[in-house]
Chains A and B, each alone.
Chain A
Amino acid sequence: MPVDPPADSRTSATRRARDGFVASLALVPSVFVYGTVFGGLAVQAGLRPLEVWAMSLLVFAGAAQFVAVPMLEAGASPLAIVLTTYVVNMRHYLMAATLAPAFRGFPRAWLALVAHWINDESFAVAVARRHPVDPWVYLGSAAAVAGAFLGGVPVGTHLGGLVADPARWGLDFAFPAVFLALGVVQLRAPTDWLVAVASGALATAVALMAPGHWHIVVAGVVVSGTAALVVPPEAP
């Protein structure tokens, strides 16, 4: 696998970033609406708008934020909320490891900043769009996702969630749809299918047995790790 195929170096960084941005537009309406829903819920739970904006900007992890707000409302201990956040976000380790080789040669200060914007949706877009992952496609996608989320939150803290029940409009389904669609386009070799099916099945089983957010990390590590040990390296 070449580190940087010549085709990619010919296209400018701006164009590749735009490609990532445009590829992420499918998600913008859902991410925006969920931003407003989060803003609305958090204010209803007793947080001040400034606190909600700060959390969205500094934590920038939708799933963890949706989990934390009801815990805050219920008066859970700060330690419990922080630990839960950590567990919910452990999947970022896998994404960071996968994205890292694409960022070789970037200044470390850049990497420290880029890291903050790692999110499920941009990871999915970046890994599916180019082989190997293109850092600019990823950054373009992160801009679209971050813009939609951080744009939605203040709307929600002031107007309430724009849509009372996003699921009624199928907007909740945009997330699994993107993950699934971007997974499907990557299936080439029979081993790819085996890994994908095994991981989906294991994740579902873990989610059923251990509610919470362990299933992504457990299935991601166990299945990809096992396959990496079994499949010879440098397989096509």
Chain B
Amino acid sequence: MRTDVWLVIAGMAVVTYLTRAPLLLALARRPLPPRLRSWLRLIPLAVLPALALPLILVDEGRLVASPAHPPLWGAVVVFALAGLRVNLLATVAAAVATVAALRALG
């Protein structure tokens, strides 16, 4: 059991490093062609909503888009405050408080 645990930890560490290091090392070396640069500029625009929306809209494999779902209101708060360029700490605090309050009431 114990060797297994360390084996798993080592394996997890190696494969995770292999997702992080190769492109960072390879693409930091040379100036990039314009087409690749514009692709890299678009990645955050695609990755951030891809990280966020499923966390908000999917719960245990089901789509939850009803007004009774507190994260939806949290997202509305984030949209409004971030759109007004309120700072990140205040935006997140307000959203977390909104979700906590709605869950406490629900």
Contacts of A128 in B (CB 8 A): 44
A60 to B9, CA, bound (A): 11
Where chain A touches its partner, the secondary structure class is: helix
Contacts of A211 in B (CB 8 A): 61
- Determine which of B6, B25, B89 lies in contact with A111 in the assembled complex, contact meaning CB atoms within 8 Å: B25
Contacts of B68 in A (CB 8 A): none
Cβ–Cβ contact A91 & B47, under 8 A: yes
- Determine which of A78, A103, A183 lies in contact with B11 in the assembled complex, contact meaning CB atoms within 8 Å: A78
Contacts of B28 in A (CB 8 A): 100-101, 103-104, 106, 111
Most chain A beta carbons < 10 A, residue from B14, B42, B54, B70: B42
Number of interface residues of A (CB under 8 A): 104
A85 to B52, CA, bound (A): 20
Cβ–Cβ contact B95 & A58, under 8 A: no
Known: A26-B92, A78-B8, A179-B48. A227 touches B20 (CB 8 A): no
- Give the residue name and chain of the A residue nearest to B101 (CB): A170
Q: How far is the CB of B18 from chain A (nearest CB, A)?
A: 8
Cβ–Cβ contact B52 & A176, under 8 A: yes
- Mark A134-160 against chain B: 1 for CB-CB distance below 8 A, else 0: 000000000000000000000000000
Known: A60-B16, A170-B98, A185-B85. A233 touches B38 (CB 8 A): yes
A78 to B26, CA, bound (A): 30
Cβ–Cβ contact A178 & B46, under 8 A: no
The reply on B34 being an interface residue by CB < 8 A is yes
A170 to B92, CA, bound (A): 10
- Determine which of A85, A101, A184 lies in contact with B79 in the assembled complex, contact meaning CB atoms within 8 Å: A184
Known: A202-B50, A219-B50. A182 touches B95 (CB 8 A): no
Number of interface residues of B (CB under 8 A): 79
Cβ–Cβ contact A231 & B38, under 8 A: yes
A228 to B46, CA, bound (A): 11
Contacts of A180 in B (CB 8 A): 48-49, 52-53, 56, 75, 78-79, 82
- Mark B65-106 against chain A: 1 for CB-CB distance below 8 A, else 0: 000001100110011011101001101110111111101100
Contacts of A200 in B (CB 8 A): 49-50, 52-53
Cβ–Cβ contact B53 & A203, under 8 A: yes
- Determine which of A60, A115, A184, A208 lies in contact with B63 in the assembled complex, contact meaning CB atoms within 8 Å: A208
- Mark A67-104 against chain B: 1 for CB-CB distance below 8 A, else 0: 01000100000110111011001111111111111011
User: Residues of A with Cβ closer than 8 Å to B?
Assistant: 1, 3, 23, 25-27, 30, 47, 51, 54-55, 58-61, 64-65, 68, 72, 78-79, 81-83, 85-86, 89-101, 103-104, 106, 108, 111-112, 114-116, 118, 120, 123-125, 127-128, 167-187, 192, 195-204, 207-208, 211, 215-216, 219-220, 223-225, 227-228, 231-235
User: Residues of B with Cβ closer than 8 Å to A?
Assistant: 4-29, 31-32, 34-35, 37-58, 61-63, 70-71, 74-75, 78-79, 81-83, 85, 88-89, 91-93, 95-101, 103-104
16 cross-chain CB contacts under 8 A: A59-B9, A86-B15, A111-B24, A115-B20, A127-B44, A174-B92, A174-B95, A180-B82, A181-B95, A184-B79, A199-B45, A199-B49, A201-B53, A215-B54, A223-B46, A232-B38
